Chains A and B, each alone.
Chain A
């Protein structure tokens, strides 16, 4: 056991790195909070002044704000659901032995390495375009009318693109978790005559719980700020149907070089992300504790 003396020494030795980490976090945050209380536009220099909460009131009273908040949650929730469910299924499939497995694995993982802007362009112009897209060709050759994805179901279209991008990540994490399942456990279950379905629900799924938690938490962080896919395809429209918080901040403040407004929007987004994270950790985080 550590003595009083070594404990003090330990704290002193750890202090520099803790202070550095703390400063790393607190300095940008403090500056953002400070900027968010200023009337500060890069293109109108010399007019900076303290305005208190005006930037916040302005951002929160935006007619598109509530809608964009809901859009953000719908986007994050749907993509999470799709990637986790299909991630588990694909991981199960890839865990089997079959000819060409390594090639299939590589192909499944590939979408993750495509840049968001590029994949959005490919989906928009080659797949979902109602005149020149593959989906339109399929629909018309089967005698249906082509769907105008980004006009009729814009949010679904965005969700599909983002889910396609993140599915490999979920698959990869879940596959490694699945491979760590003890083979003796499998044999024991086999010997006891466990049926495949109950093997999956009672042994595989509980084993994956922790990996699913990691997938959900990490993806949430990135999905809250989805921007490129929206910017490239719908531009937040039609109307504000696909405007999420990130896009709203972009259109409200960044496009106009409004540092004050952008900072306020950023702080609002941080607060909301923390609320989401709080519930999420409550919901699934207990898996991480054991």
Chain B
């Protein structure tokens, strides 16, 4: 009795296994952000339209994902068929020949609908190497009520001088209201994202055309001095460890007059469930210093296929589905327009339903459109990227520089000393990496 039963179970599992073999299974590595989790929930739409393709998800925290995916592709591990990577990785990896150009996204994909700066950051030698899943820039979120009380009016495109002046007027330490909240925690994706974008608007750049670092120049000095003075006069205490989440909490608790950070934060600060000040928030473009370049950055999470993949056709089919207009419509029909992945397609920003659900849509689009990964600085630069330089050494260097700048913020080092160490550290690393 027992033996036949076991044999039967064995037989059934064999059949199941062989059926699974006939299918193409795509392994997707992705970030545990809410938009990606939503995509994972909605994949039945894709699998019913594409029988024969099954999906396996590997969902990880951003830093862990970056490490896993990078080591996998660099050692040709081949664990993943679809990679979720940022705009920082795409140009580096495409240059190494590690990514497959996406040329079979299908006739209905409408590549020209992608927002131009995002597309430019993902294009190398005229070929698109990754498709954007959602994109973001940075902008000012501010409190209408506090501005009114102080008799101020936020211009559509403010300058840094106006921001500094307003921040000082809004600050009231007895009620724990601080004029401006900015990132201060060291890290290449933390304070350096803000400071690099800010430096762009002050005319600075990381490297000149010969890859010589420029922290000893007057532009960086102006940037860092301005930042430190502003935060001392009008920033919250503890700014040197505040990242995105800390500032979000401060702003939602009504302790910040202004906050310059990622455009995706707009939906959190204007959500009454999370924010005490949801009905008092308005948005404006990130400031300029009158030099024609804004302090807004550009980032996108994208989907890409590793070169040499044996399942490239199915993988491209999935990418086309996940980054299409139809996917946006699908999310809207299931979860509402406020929850669609933003910042990738022009058509979304002319959709009246989305504009109604997202009051920050116009400023978001303008911010993305004015961020330029190729010509984002006043003087020409040799690297791709707005708030980063897309070279492998950048993460390490910028983390070290970020520590120095945090020291300037807390006052443990002077601005000049911080810039001098930043310059020395960057020169050292670049010399080692073989840049002349």
| Interface positions of A (Cβ within 8 A of B) | 41-45, 58, 63-64, 124-125, 129-132, 136, 146, 148-152, 233-241, 243, 251-253, 255-258
Contact = CB atoms under 8 A, between A and B. Distances in A.
A64 B404 CA distance: 11
Those 9 A-B pairs whose CB atoms lie nearest each other, nearest first: A239-B407, A235-B186, A43-B392, A130-B237, A42-B74, A237-B406, A130-B238, A151-B410, A238-B407
A42 B393 CA distance: 11
Contacts of A131: 176, 236-238, 250, 255
Contacts of B396: 251-253, 255-256, 258
A130 B176 CA distance: 11
A92 B239 CA distance: 41
B241 A151 contact: yes
B253 A132 contact: yes
A69 B387 CA distance: 32
A237 B398 CA distance: 13
A132 B237 CA distance: 10
A154 B250 CA distance: 21
Chain B: number of interface residues, binned into ranges: 35 or more
A131 B253 CA distance: 11
27 contacts: A43-B92, A43-B96, A63-B421, A124-B241, A125-B249, A130-B236, A131-B236, A148-B240, A150-B238, A151-B239, A151-B241, A151-B410, A234-B240, A235-B186, A235-B402, A235-B403, A236-B186, A236-B403, A238-B409, A239-B406, A239-B412, A241-B407, A251-B400, A253-B396, A256-B392, A256-B393, A257-B74
Looking at A43, A241, A252, the one whose CB has the most chain B CB atoms below 10 A away is A43
Contacts of A236: 186, 399, 403
B424 A63 contact: yes
A146 B249 CA distance: 18
Interface in B392-431: 392-393, 395-396, 399-400, 402-404, 406-407, 409-413, 418, 421, 424-425
Interface in B113-164: none
Given A63-B424, A150-B240, A241-B412, A255 B406 contact: no
B421 A238 contact: no
B70 interface: yes
Given A234-B240, A237-B407, A256-B396, 7 more contacts: A42-B71, A124-B241, A151-B240, A234-B406, A239-B406, A251-B400, A255-B188
Q: Is the interface of A mostly helix, strand, loop or mixed?
A: loop
Interface of B: 70-71, 74-75, 92, 96, 176, 185-188, 190, 236-241, 246, 249-250, 253, 255, 392-393, 395-396, 399-400, 402-404, 406-407, 409-413, 418, 421, 424-425, 432
Nearest to B75: A42
Contacts of A43: 70, 74, 92, 96, 392
A199 B111 CA distance: 82
B323 to A, nearest CB: 26
A251 B392 contact: no
B138 to A, nearest CB: 20
Contacts of A152: 410
B240 A257 contact: no
Contacts of A258: 396
B432 A150 contact: no
Given A43-B392, A63-B425, A256-B393, A237 B250 contact: no
B415 to A, nearest CB: 13
B74 A238 contact: no
B421 A235 contact: no
Contacts of A251: 396, 399-400, 403
B395 A255 contact: yes
Given A132-B250, A235-B190, A239-B413, A45 B74 contact: yes
Given A251-B396, A253-B396, A255-B399, A234 B255 contact: no
Contacts of A58: 432
Given A233-B241, A256-B395, A125 B403 contact: no
A241 B413 CA distance: 11
A33 B266 CA distance: 50
A231 to B, nearest CB: 9
Nearest to A253: B396
Contacts of B432: 58
A125 B238 CA distance: 10
A129 B246 contact: yes
B388 to A, nearest CB: 13
A239 B425 CA distance: 12
Nearest to B241: A150
A230 to B, nearest CB: 10
Nearest to A45: B74
A147 B188 CA distance: 27
A42 B185 contact: no
A42 B240 CA distance: 32
A148 B96 CA distance: 45
Contacts of B249: 125, 132
A55 to B, nearest CB: 10
Contacts of A235: 185-187, 190, 241, 399, 402-403, 406
Nearest to A117: B61
Contacts of B185: 234-235, 237
A246 to B, nearest CB: 14
A268 B92 CA distance: 30
Contacts of B240: 148, 150-151, 234, 237-238
A239 B240 CA distance: 11
Contact of A237 (B70, B188, B403): B403
Contacts of B186: 234-238
A198 to B, nearest CB: 47
A239 B404 contact: yes
B399 A240 contact: no
